[in-house]
Amino acid sequence: MANDKLGTAIVITSGKGGVGKTTTSANIGTGLAMLGYSVVVLDADIGLRNLDVVMGLENRIVYDLVDVVEKNCRLKQALIRDKRQEKLYLLPAAQTKDKTAVKPEQMVELINELKKHHDYIIIDSPAGIEQGFQYSIAGADRAIIVTTPEISAVRDADRVIGILEANELNDPELILNRIRPDMVRRGDMMNTEDVLDILAIDLIGIVPDDESIVISTNKGEPIVIDEKALAGKAYRNIVRRIVGEEVEFLNLEQNEESKFSKVLKLIFGK
Amino acid sequence: MDFFKLFTKKQEKSKNVAKERLKLVLVHDRSDLSPRFLEMIKSDIVKVISKYAEIDESEIEIKMTKMKREGQNSPVSALVANIPIVNVKSKNK
């Protein structure tokens, strides 16, 4: 037992669907592996599996989370090694089962087992606050909440923060996703300060709404490996903060002319 | 162009509208007082006050809100009741 690691399990959650949980999970997992950590990304969205396609590993799935829990296979057999990162593994969700297939106690047992062999377990939680959410937070040590600056997403995030605290997952951290600097500057989108003012939790990252995320997802390559994309940098910063580094936040909402608008002005001569 | 700018400046930024709406809705979400509970509270308050005064039931407003209290940074939830009194009943009755 002396050689055993004691990894950290982090659940990525949001309440509302479609705010970017799966993309965030894939990027954080990949980013941590890029720093040399051994990582398992766990798709807890049974019945609506997607982390596999976002990571480009959909063709390699043989066993899944439910197979492991039901002991149809050994844990190691279900872990799929990533294409690029040596120390990154995916544990895919089952696609043909539903969320009653896994109980919170089983999840705790599974995650404790994974923590013995890996530094980080990233759990991609399903949307909603029902059964799937309950088992996905069961084994987690930390929680990261993803929201967009929209009224509905922030409302659901607030609800989830309350539930996490009731489940003794204190001090969740926030990723504000899909910020559009142009809209923030016009006053047509809530900015980081507005959202933090309402949710009153610590910020761990801000990610711009970046077309290159769509493109990279199309290809099954997390944006975090893209050196040029701003969203890639945003995720690399988040990962460094997760491991305890102090990293300055990207300035996506400055009031004066941004670099981007300066470039635009250069191009269009306005 | 300047005319339009002047015009739009007078309108509130939509993010502020969103923030205000969000704050209000979260007050309800965060408290366990559902609209049904508020109705029950309201009818009980009406019963009690009606003993002593005639009140305009159609104008009663009872809502949850957030209030800053002196010496505290974070606002606390408060129940605000606005009950218009039409006539105070005489004491000897």
**What domain count does chain B have?**
1
Q: Which residues of B touch A149 (CB under 8 A)?
A: 15
Mutate to test the interface with B, among A163, A165, A194 (most CBs of B within 10 A): A194
Q: pLDDT tens-digit profile of A165-203?
A: 889 999 999 999 999 999 999 999 999 999 999 999 999
- Does B7 fall in a domain? no
Cβ-defined contact of A159 to B23 (cutoff 8 Å): no
Comparison of pLDDT for A29 and A168, the residue scoring more:
A29
Mean of pLDDT values over A131-148: 96
What ipTM did this prediction achieve? 0.79
**Alpha-carbon gap: A187 to the closest alpha carbon of chain B (Å):** 5
- Does B32 fall in a domain? yes
Q: What is the pTM of this model?
A: 0.80
- Does B4 fall in a domain? no
Give, in degrees to the nearest 5, the angle at Cα A35 between A251 and A118. Answer: 125
Q: Which residues of chain B have pLDDT under 50?
A: 1
Confidence at A2, pLDDT banded by 50, 70, 90: very low
Mean of pLDDT values over A4-19: 93
Mutate to test the interface with A, among B19, B27, B72 (most CBs of A within 10 A): B19
Chain B CA closest to residue A162: B30
- The domains of chain A are located at 8-268
Q: pLDDT tens-digit profile of A71-119?
A: 999 999 999 999 999 999 999 999 999 999 999 999 999 999 999 999 9
Q: pLDDT tens-digit profile of A245-255?
A: 999 999 987 65
Q: pLDDT tens-digit profile of A209-230?
A: 999 999 999 999 999 999 999 9
For domain A8-268, give the CATH number.
3.40.50.300
Residue B39 domain boundaries: 14-88
